[in-house]
Chains A and B, each alone.
Chain A
Amino acid sequence: MGLIRRLCEMFRLMVGVPDYQRYVAHLRAHHPDTPVPTEGEFVARCQKARYEGGKQSRCC
């Protein structure tokens, strides 16, 4: 993977959004019956998980 792609991955992960392509690949490989979310749906789901679960602590 190139440096730029790594940096993008890092920036997205900093705000709690994992790699979308990787998730799609995982779904295709392990859960072929599950419908694949669009990137928009994927990001929406990540936002919900990060802020609504009450698990993500904020640091001082």
Chain B
Amino acid sequence: MGGTIGRIFWVLLAALGALALGTVALHQGESINALWLLTAAVCVYLIGYRFYAQFVAVRVLAIDPSRLTPAVRRDDGLDFVPTHGGVLFGHHFAAIAGAGPLIGPVLAAQMGYLPGTLWILVGAVLGGCVQDMIVLFLSTRRGARSLGDMVRLELGSGVGLLAQIGILAIMVILLAVLGLVVVKALAHSPWGTFTVAATIPIALLMGIYMRVIRPGRIGEGTVIGLVLLIASIVWGERVAADPHWGKVFTLEGTTLAWSLIIYGFAASVLPVWLLLAPRDYLSTFLKIGTVLLLAVGIVVTQPSLKMPAVTQFIDGTGPVFAGSLFPFLFITIACGAISGFHALISSGTTPKMLATEAHIPGIGYGSMLCESFVAVMALIAACALEPGLYFAMNSPAALIGTTPESAAAVISSWGFQITPEMLTQTAANVGESTVLSRTGGAPTLAVAMAQVFSGLLGGQAMMAFWYHFAILFEALFILTTLDAGTRVGRFMIQDLMGRAAPQLGHTGSWIGNLLATSLCVGGWGWFLYQGVRDPLGGINSLWPLFGIANQMLAAMALVLVSVVLIKMKRERYVWVGLLPLSWLLVCTLTAGWEKLFHADVRIGFLSHADKFSAAIERGEVIAPAQSLAQMQQIVLNDYVNASLCAFFMSLLVAVAVLGLRAGIKAWRTEQVTAQEDAWA
């Protein structure tokens, strides 16, 4: 676009964005069309990409398209391959897209659509995208090294070890919380449980097909798998209705949790081609397809947002998760705004395939914009639900009771009108026995997506199909993550064990292997099980821990980014890293502090423990516990959660202090001290 026309275009786009954002923010009254929100988001993204990403790329990082990337220098036709920018963009987006940006915004919707939207947009444009892009840049300039290696290289081995422990801890919490989401979605849902269970034989079949029958034919295998998957959803309705099989697949949360733990252990020792790889193929393509379909669905059906812009729950009394808007909104929506995990992906396989540094903004910043857009779509879908229904699905039974009548009465008293009939009708529409207290985010998102998809295709009659399609889609890639994540966790544990006892560190060591797998599965399994037993839904305590861990990792990555900017002697631009870093530090540490010491027993782990300890001393049993042993279990859980929270905080403070020291030292040094590869 030539000079003048280009300028007019950007001015018009900015005006449109301002109009849309203004409408979204200032809207009063009944409901607002989701297109306003979508338009605002797209305008913000385009402006962010055109101006901020280019500014960071050109001025701050001074990317040099003539410089040879690791892919070009070390081209081996396999790992290091200069790859077409668009192809690599797809690869990178598929790698960063997970369950996080779908679940977080659904939970945050309890505060209304506005706070979540603003944080997703601002957080992504100024924080998450910048982190992803600069980490990709740093890795590209350092022979495609991983985040942990770069931290060791630039900040020293002590900080490197802290980062390694931090990455392992977040992995364990991530797996537990994702497992909990699956358990919550499948408990008492024979249809959902059947379809998810069916993915195991389907994947095995695909694995054998791609290995033995038609070796290497991924496309054919995946198409067969997808067809069988759809068939299993259709067939699931009959299974659920069957008097015998319906009962077999109706499982309690605790049974499902044990099944997941056993599955996680078994799956991680099977050969990868048999179960893990085929299911990864299914979940990857299903994920991309569903996200695209959701985008089309929202644009075509143009749902109205029925949730108010801001609800009364910004004061911290919300039923979905406890804690006020600051800092808990920023912890709840991690992925979609800033996700520390992306720093691992941006320093993984992507930098090995980058053909030229000129692709860094498009792939690093651009992919994260798309991820953020996914989060906006999840928020739209959740806020398009009737708010009364949203709260009925996401409030624990301890608050709203277990019958449609009690739930409708309580939720209506909060100011969100809903009738018992509407609740039973919705359950019937989606083919479930009840929609009450289906916490965890996934069922809500599934109802929301079913509403969008059935508006696009099939109408009311297809609602139940789409609901179970959405549950399957979420469960499928969460199970893949459990399986792959357990393997990654095992390697991390073995690496750490190897430092203490070298013979256990060898990946060939059977004892080391088994020990590390048990530790990893035991770790996430423990948190998963206590989450399932938690009467407040588990998500209430686990999701904030996960958010704190993820933001802690992001903060570590931004410490690296900021220090390296100083070491490159580009300190006048160090605010590019410090701006999101300081926000993350403030949010994460405040949230951690409140989770530890807040006087409200719904927020503070320690005050909750005190309440139960005091009751134990008096010999009282208070709900939800039914015996003194359960009371003691609750107190123990609180202490473990509190310790983990304190551990995350100390790790973060340590890395920040060591980073600050390294930054000051580099600032005082005249010459460049960043450890880049030589120019080639």
Residues of chain B contacted by A18 (CB below 8 angstroms): 77-79, 81
8 closest Cβ contacts across the A-B interface?
A: A40-B215, A54-B491, A26-B77, A60-B100, A39-B216, A14-B94, A10-B90, A51-B272
A10-B91, A14-B284, A52-B272 given; A23·B77 CB < 8 A: yes
A6-B86, A23-B77, A57-B341 given; A51·B98 CB < 8 A: no
Interface residues of A, Cβ cutoff 8 Å to B: 1, 6, 8-20, 22-23, 25-27, 30, 38-44, 47-60
- Are A59's CB and B95's CB within 8 A? yes
A43-B218, A52-B272, A60-B339 given; A15·B281 CB < 8 A: yes
CA of A43 to CA of B210, assembled, Å: 9
Q: Tell me the minimal C-beta distance from B346 to chain A in angstroms.
A: 10
CA of A57 to CA of B351, assembled, Å: 14
CA of A12 to CA of B216, assembled, Å: 11
Partner of A58, one of B88, B335, B488, B490: B488
Of B119-127, B399-407, B445-453, B477-485, the one contacting chain A is: B477-485
A26-B75, A55-B348, A60-B339 given; A19·B81 CB < 8 A: yes
Partner of A40, one of B77, B100, B216, B490: B216
- Are B87's CB and A13's CB within 8 A? yes
Output the residue of B95, B211, B288, B339 with the most chain A CB within 10 A. Answer: B95
- Are B87's CB and A9's CB within 8 A? yes
A6-B84, A6-B86, A6-B87 given; A59·B216 CB < 8 A: no
Near A by CB (< 8 A), chain B positions 230-277 give: 272-273, 276-277
CA of A20 to CA of B341, assembled, Å: 29
Residues of chain B contacted by A11 (CB below 8 angstroms): 90, 219, 285
Q: Tell me the minimal C-beta distance from A38 to chain B in angstroms.
A: 7
Residues of chain B contacted by A9 (CB below 8 angstroms): 84, 87
CA of A30 to CA of B75, assembled, Å: 11
- Are A56's CB and B86's CB within 8 A? no
- Are B487's CB and A54's CB within 8 A? yes
Q: List 10 A-B contacts (CB under 8 A).
A: A10-B86, A13-B87, A15-B284, A23-B78, A42-B216, A43-B215, A43-B216, A47-B272, A48-B273, A54-B492
A14-B284, A51-B277 given; A59·B81 CB < 8 A: no
CA of A6 to CA of B334, assembled, Å: 33
Interface string of B82-111 (1 = CB under 8 A from A): 011011101100111111100000000000
